């Protein structure tokens, strides 16, 4: 059975000094609902900053009679409701209000079905009205506000049911991003208040940051309603199964419409918000998607060593993946690599060292903190080695089944884990893959203090940017597009953004290599950037990882569009390719 198992390092390190603010319970419903059941809770107008908590929340009602919406009081809304039809409550996400990010498209489709729709506006508490330059810094405060806003929504629903004699079985909730968690908190409140489980709860890419480690009681969960459906479209959403039905559009990562002209954080944000348009299309009678079952992909689970034994097969490979700086275990498309490994029935442990990698710290401090993240890599690597030892000893996993993959700083962490395993008497790990191993503060290090070909039986390094070490590091070094600027990070991206894009796209190349439908062409090179020798070629695909006869440095051609590889009918190598391809097929 395919399994993805997530492990987290409990390390008290410098980059973990900034505390995580999670949603807290506020059971004082009177703060959310005024005595005369007014829709909004108004404080003085001198400040609406989300930092100061929930100051103003309002709800607009949409029906076939009021298609443009109208802010109403509970008593007033009774005149527009039909007790025989479904009533939906929609909730927007971070830095938004009740009409942007195309949430209105969902409302439009619901109105076509003659449903009534209440649209919650918590824009002040979601930091929508604050200066853009401080939005990212304010996100923890918006997260903190979600529980209170959820309790307000629950109070409003109770009033609608009681005052307007609306059957509770008619209630349904839809939320996007943070709004999915707000809808979840409302549903939990309704349960504990004795109203029962809401019949339907839909989450549009439920927000991941500051919710990743939360249990079901503190996030969107399948225990919240009779029918819980989660749509997944980006790394900003929780990369785990959350509902009775989980729909992973385009594998739940980068979306096709957020294509080649959008890179980095903009692309992730586009993929996150496009989820609402998918949901609107699902409600349309003129539109349909096709889905196929994917078992446990990518159903990550934080486990103790003893527990993990139940999920492991001693006859298959077990991969340990490690992310890089200012990241966690599912962003920067590392999940795309995991997806391909799971398709091959491998088990995957994904190390999350995000606190020590400065992921949860204010963005303005990140560059200053990089040296501390570098300092943390050795300790995290030793932790990973200890975990691998426990897996081998406790679960009777053969050491020959172990393989390590790391991106950027994660490549060095994987290296340090491999070194530790050697000095501990476990021997050399069979396979170590580094995705553009980080260069800053490692450039002058010797093999003992960085990613190196002495760390494993088979060491492969992928090079894609100036942020990665510009030297041969493994038994096989693959220099994609000469190891510098990548074609997909093209003319629309300049400076540091282009370098950063080229650095992180390396993971997507690695994911494409693991796919059975994808391959690249490599030509041998004596030095960089002399990628002109085409007298010999190799096929760069998943068979190359364990083919120890292919060593040295190769320049690899890439396409500018996902999946970046070259289709088999487009191969233009010399006659040596046929021989190599036949050799690889027979392996």
Reported as a single tens digit per residue, the pLDDT across 71-88 is: 888 888 998 998 899 999
Name which of 218, 26, 50, 271 is nearest 139 in CA terms: 50
For 349, half-sphere exposure in the C-beta direction (CA atoms, 13 angstrom radius) is 28
For 345, half-sphere exposure in the C-beta direction (CA atoms, 13 angstrom radius) is 5
Average pLDDT over residues 1-25: 39
Q: Which domains does the chain have, with CATH numbers?
A: 51-283 (3.40.50.1820), 306-557 (3.40.50.1820)
- Gap between the Cα atoms of 230 and 244, Å rounded: 8
Q: What is the mean pLDDT of the chain?
A: 82
> Residue 205 region, left (φ>0) first, then alpha (ψ -120 to 50), else beta?
left
Evaluate the omega torsion of the peptide bond into residue 529 and state whether it is cis, within 30 degrees of 0.
Answer: yes
Evaluate the omega torsion of the peptide bond into residue 563 and state whether it is cis, within 30 degrees of 0.
Answer: yes
Question: What amino acid positions are annotated as catalytic residues?
Answer: 177, 205, 272
Helix H or strand E encompassing 526? none
Reported as a single tens digit per residue, the pLDDT across 400-427 is: 999 999 999 999 999 999 999 999 999 9
- Gap between the Cα atoms of 326 and 342, Å rounded: 25
Q: What percent of the chain has pLDDT over 90?
A: 52
CB atoms < 10 A from the CB of 494, how many?
A: 10
DSSP class of 237: B
Name which of 336, 306, 313, 310 is nearest 323 in CA terms: 336
The contacts of residue 582 (CB under 8 Å, 6+ apart) are: none
Q: What is the pLDDT of residue 204?
A: 97
The contacts of residue 285 (CB under 8 Å, 6+ apart) are: none
Reported as a single tens digit per residue, the pLDDT across 418-476 is: 999 999 999 999 999 999 999 999 999 999 999 999 999 999 999 999 999 999 999 99
Q: Are residues 468 and 231 in contact, defined by beta-carbon separation less than 8 angstroms?
A: no
Q: What is the pLDDT of residue 5?
A: 55
């Amino acid at each position: 059975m395919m399994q993805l198992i997530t492990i987290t390092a409990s390390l008290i390190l410098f980059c973990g000094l900034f505390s995580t603010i999670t949603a807290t319970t506020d059971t004082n419903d009177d703060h959310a609902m005024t005595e005369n059941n007014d829709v909004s809770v108004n404080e003085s107008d001198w400040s609406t900053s989300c930092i100061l908590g929930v100051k103003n929340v309002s709800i607009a009602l949409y029906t076939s009679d009021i298609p443009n919406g109208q802010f109403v009081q509970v008593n007033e809304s009774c005149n527009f409701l039909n007790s025989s039809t479904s009533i939906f409550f929609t909730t927007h996400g971070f830095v938004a209000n009740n009409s942007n990010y195309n949430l209105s498209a969902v409302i439009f489709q619901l109105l076509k079905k003659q449903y009534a729709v209440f649209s919650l506006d918590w824009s002040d508490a979601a930091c929508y009205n604050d200066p853009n330059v401080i939005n990212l810094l304010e996100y923890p405060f918006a997260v903190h506000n979600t529980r209170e806003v959820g309790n307000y929504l629950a109070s409003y629903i109770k009033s609608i049911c009681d005052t307007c004699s609306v059957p509770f079985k008619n209630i349904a909730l839809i939320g996007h991003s943070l709004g999915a968690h707000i809808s979840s908190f409302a549903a939990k409140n309704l349960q504990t208040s004795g109203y029962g489980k809401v019949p339907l709860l839909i989450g549009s890419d439920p927000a991941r940051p500051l919710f990743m480690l939360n249990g079901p009681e503190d996030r969107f969960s399948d225990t919240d309603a009779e029918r819980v459906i989660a749509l997944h479209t980006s790394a900003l959403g929780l990369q785990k199964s959350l509902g009775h039905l989980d729909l992973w559009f385009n594998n739940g990562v980068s979306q096709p419409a957020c294509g080649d002209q959008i890179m980095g954080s903009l692309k992730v944000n586009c993929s996150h918000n496009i989820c609402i348009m998918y949901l609107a299309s699902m409600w349309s009678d003129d539109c349909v998607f096709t889905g196929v079952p994917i078992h446990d992909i990518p159903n990550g689970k934080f486990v103790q060593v003893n527990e993990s034994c139940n999920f492991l097969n001693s006859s298959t490979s077990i991969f340990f993946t490690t992310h890089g700086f200012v990241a966690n275990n599912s962003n920067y498309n590392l999940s795309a690599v995991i997806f391909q490994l799971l398709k091959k029935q491998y088990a995957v442990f994904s190390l999350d060292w995000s606190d020590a990698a400065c992921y949860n710290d204010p963005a303005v401090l990140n560059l200053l903190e990089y040296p501390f993240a570098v300092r943390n890599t050795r300790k995290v690597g030793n932790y990973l080695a200890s975990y691998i030892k426990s897996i081998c000893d406790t679960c009777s996993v053969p050491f020959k089944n172990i393989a390590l993959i790391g991106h950027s700083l994660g490549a060095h962490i994987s290296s340090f884990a491999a070194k530790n395993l050697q000095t501990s008497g476990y021997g050399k790990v069979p396979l170590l893959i580094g995705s553009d191993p980080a260069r800053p503060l490692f450039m002058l290090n010797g093999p003992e203090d960085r990613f190196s070909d002495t760390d494993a039986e088979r060491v492969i390094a992928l090079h894609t940017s100036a942020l990665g070490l510009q030297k041969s590091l493994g038994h096989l070094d693959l220099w994609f597009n000469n190891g510098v600027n990548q074609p997909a990070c093209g003319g629309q991206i300049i400076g540091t953004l282009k370098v950063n894009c080229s650095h992180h796209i390396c993971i997507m190349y690695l994911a494409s290599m693991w796919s059975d439908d994808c391959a690249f062409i490599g030509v041998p090179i004596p030095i960089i950037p002399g990628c002109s020798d085409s007298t010999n070629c190799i096929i760069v695909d998943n068979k190359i990882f364990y083919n120890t006869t292919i060593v040295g440095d190769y320049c690899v051609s890439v396409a500018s569009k996902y999946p970046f590889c070259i289709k088999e009918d487009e191969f233009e190598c010399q006659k040596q390719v046929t021989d190599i391809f036949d050799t690889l097929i027979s392996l």
